[in-house]
């Protein structure tokens, strides 16, 4: 009898798991609460414009990259343009291109910060060496933290003598490496690093895992891409693969209840329809499980999952803008970071990521127009009351637009459509408690041993997404989706 799998949520992680297990012959049903696929990598439309829900770029499409490996396994043909420069980095003291070539990137930083050039060179030499070593350990995509003998066996099989050099930084923040190279007081340079880290690791160099920071500072050089239409295309490609393998995608179908039934599960949606299944893949906010599961089942969940309701995470404030780029001196580059705080602030509109469609990308906007998504981290405590919410929303919008205007004079006058997404909007769109996004800060302990596993602790219930090891971004969620698919099928798959 064909085994059944119900996937709750159609984020990139959930769709990855769904497509892989469907390819292996499982009967797959995906239940998505919204009308759009791909979660935080999705889109929404305001005719004639298509806006990316999140401000992000494509990665891991190069040979050996996880998206490349998954798409090849599924027989998916992709369309993407490699970026070089990857993006522009704008800071109060410098504006620099982020070159794809490692040596050229380091030379640019040394020129921008001549007083620290020698130290920057040695720092990056070690970062790139460590990243190469880490990659040999992580390429088999091991499960962390190891929960079963098979997990531990996989990690041990990957170990080589060269990996001993990782031991000193295993539980260290990047701050330790900066101090080693005399860069811990080089504040302007640190702010450049922090801008990269906050967007990928949800924290800065003072707290970010040194191990994972090396990967974050190296990964854009492996390959960064502009995907025509936007990253929601990943979701469309994966969904098409699910259907091609005989799977079903139902939307909008909000799940209201998960119940153990003998050796399997029963999933109930908001319309009262039930789905009997052997496995549940939960690609949503783990905090929802406290409501979806019966109390005694919630108490049996793995401890990191039970602890999630008490953890502090980031919210986001986003702007969605359509512009007539013929009114500007030059169109916006596809990707850039703008940091304009006097003290290197990395949140609250003082630092934000800008993603713009290419003027010729007619999948996003009519020719000559661009759709722009801007995203900044925000403390959810600043949005508690209605008075706070309304006033802070206006403050954030103006703070961001004023900063963009510094680099693109006349930007406000070029705006055709402007909408924003504050935490409550994100909560409604993603069903995440209070609107948190991006997963948890990748600190030394949480990045590895304190991370939440894809195994829930309950038989047949698995999780994937930015809250599960190895974390956020399409690379992270795809990895957790793969881990789920491996656990269900008992195969390596890729």
DSSP structure string for 23-90: HTT-EEEEE-SSSSSBGGG-EEEETTEEEESS---EES-STTSHHHHHHHHHT-----EE-SS-EEEE
- The two tokens of residue 192 are 């450049």
Smallest CA-to-CA distance from 238 within 493, 474, 472, 17 is with: 17
How far is the C-alpha of 127 from the C-alpha of 130, rounded, in Å? Answer: 5
Instruction: Check whether the bond before 429 is cis (ω within 30° of 0).
Output: no
Q: Quick: pLDDT tens for 65-80.
A: 999 999 999 999 999 9
What global pTM score does this model have? 0.97
Q: Is the pLDDT of residue 309 over 80?
A: no
Q: Is the pLDDT of residue 310 over 70?
A: no
Average pLDDT over residues 445-474: 94
Query: Residue 216: its pLDDT value, please?
Result: 98
> Taking all residues of the chain, what is their mean pLDDT, rounded to a whole number?
96
Q: Are strands 369-378 and 95-98 parallel, antiparallel or unpaired?
A: unpaired
Q: Is the pLDDT of residue 116 over 80?
A: yes
- What is the pLDDT confidence band of residue 45, given thresholds at 50, 70 and 90? very high
Alpha carbon 188 to its chain centroid, in Å, reads: 26
Q: Is the pLDDT of residue 446 over 70?
A: yes
- The two tokens of residue 238 are 């994966």
How far is the C-alpha of 481 from the C-alpha of 475, rounded, in Å? Answer: 10
State the CATH architecture for 314-434.
2-Layer Sandwich (3.30)
Query: Residue 114: its pLDDT value, please?
Result: 98
Counting beta carbons within 10 angstroms of the beta carbon of residue 342, is it exposed (0 to 12), middle (13 to 18) or buried (19 or more)? exposed
How far is the C-alpha of 107 from the C-alpha of 421, rounded, in Å? Answer: 38
482 HSE (CA, 13 A, CB side) = 24
Q: Are 40 and 362 in contact (CB under 8 A)?
A: no
Instruction: For residue 187, give the H/E element and its range.
Output: helix 187-201
Q: Is the pLDDT of residue 311 over 80?
A: no
Q: Is the pLDDT of residue 307 over 90?
A: no
Average pLDDT over residues 415-442: 93
Query: Residue 408: its pLDDT value, please?
Result: 98
Class of CATH domain 4-80+229-310+440-489? alpha beta
What Rg, from alpha-carbon coordinates, does the chain have? 22
Q: Quick: pLDDT tens for 242-275.
A: 999 999 999 999 999 999 999 999 999 999 999 9
Query: Residue 119: its pLDDT value, please?
Result: 99
How far is the C-alpha of 145 from the C-alpha of 131, rounded, in Å? Answer: 20
Task: Map out the domains of the chain as residue ranges.
Answer: 4-80+229-310+440-489, 98-222, 314-434
- What is the pLDDT confidence band of residue 149, given thresholds at 50, 70 and 90? confident
Q: Is the pLDDT of residue 442 over 70?
A: yes
Q: Could you give the C-alpha distances from 58 to 41, 55, 320, 343, 392, in angstroms and in order? A: 10, 11, 19, 30, 31
Furthest CA-CA distance within the chain: 68
Q: Quick: pLDDT tens for 189-210.
A: 999 999 999 999 999 999 999 9
Q: Is the pLDDT of residue 115 over 70?
A: yes
Q: Are 329 and 410 in contact (CB under 8 A)?
A: yes
Q: Could you give the C-alpha distances from 141 to 146, 273, 486, in angstroms and in order? A: 12, 36, 11
Structure-derived torsion over alpha carbons of residues 471, 476, 482, 483, reported in degrees to the nearest 10 = -30
Other CB atoms within 10 Å distance of the CB of residue 387: 8
Q: Quick: pLDDT tens for 50-59.
A: 999 998 899 9
Query: Residue 297: its pLDDT value, please?
Result: 96
């Amino acid at each position: 009898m064909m085994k059944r799998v119900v996937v709750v949520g159609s984020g990139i992680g959930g769709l990855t798991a769904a497509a892989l297990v469907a390819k292996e012959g499982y009967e797959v049903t995906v239940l998505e609460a919204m009308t759009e696929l791909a979660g935080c990598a999705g889109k929404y439309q305001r005719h004639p414009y298509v806006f990316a829900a999140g401000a992000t770029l494509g990665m891991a499409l190069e040979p050996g990259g996880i998206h490349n490996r998954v798409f090849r396994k599924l027989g998916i043909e992709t369309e993407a343009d490699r970026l070089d420069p990857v993006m522009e980095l704008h800071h109060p003291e410098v504006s620099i291109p982020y070159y794809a070539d490692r040596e050229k990137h380091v030379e640019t930083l040394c020129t921008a910060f001549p007083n620290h050039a020698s130290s920057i060179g040695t720092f990056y030499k070690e970062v790139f060496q460590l990243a190469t070593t880490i990659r040999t350990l992580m390429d088999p995509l091991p499960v962390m933290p190891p929960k079963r003998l098979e997990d531990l066996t996989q990690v041990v099989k990957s170990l080589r003598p060269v990996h001993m050099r990782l031991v000193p930084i295993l539980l260290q923040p990047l701050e330790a490496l900066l101090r080693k190279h005399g860069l811990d007081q080089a504040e302007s340079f640190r702010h450049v690093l922090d801008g990269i880290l906050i967007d990928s690791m949800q924290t800065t160099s003072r707290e970010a895992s040194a191990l994972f920071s090396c990967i974050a500072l190296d990964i854009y050089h492996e390959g960064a891409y502009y995907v025509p239409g936007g990253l929601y295309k990943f979701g469309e490609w994966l969904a098409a693969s699910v259907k091609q393998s005989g799977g079903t995608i139902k939307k909008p179908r909000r799940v209201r209840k998960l119940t153990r039934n003998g050796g399997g599960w029963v999933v109930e949606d908001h319309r009262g329809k039930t789905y009997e299944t052997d496995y549940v893949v939960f690609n949503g906010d783990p905090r929802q499980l406290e409501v979806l599961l019966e109390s005694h089942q919630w108490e049996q969940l793995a401890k990191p999952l039970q602890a999630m309701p008490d953890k502090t995470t980031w919210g986001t404030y986003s702007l969605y803008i359509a512009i007539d780029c013929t009114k500007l001196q030059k169109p916006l580059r596809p990707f850039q970071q703008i940091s304009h705080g006097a003290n290197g602030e990395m949140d609250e509109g003082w630092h934000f990521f800008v993603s713009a469609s290419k003027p010729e990308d007619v999948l996003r906007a009519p020719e000559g127009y661009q759709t722009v998504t801007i995203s900044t981290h925000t403390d959810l405590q600043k949005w508690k009351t209605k008075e706070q919410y309304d006033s802070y929303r206006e403050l954030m919008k103006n703070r961001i637009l004023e900063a963009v205007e510094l680099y693109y004079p006349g930007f406000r006058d070029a705006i055709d459509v402007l909408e924003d997404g504050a935490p409550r909007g994100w909560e409604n769109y993603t069903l995440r408690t209070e609107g948190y996004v991006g997963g948890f800060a990748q600190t030394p302990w949480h990045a590895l041993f304190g991370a939440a596993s894809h195994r829930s602790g309950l038989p047949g219930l698995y999780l994937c997404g930015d809250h599960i090891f190895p974390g956020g971004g399409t690379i992270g969620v795809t990895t957790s989706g793969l881990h789920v698919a491996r656990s269900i099928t008992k195969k390596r798959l890729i």
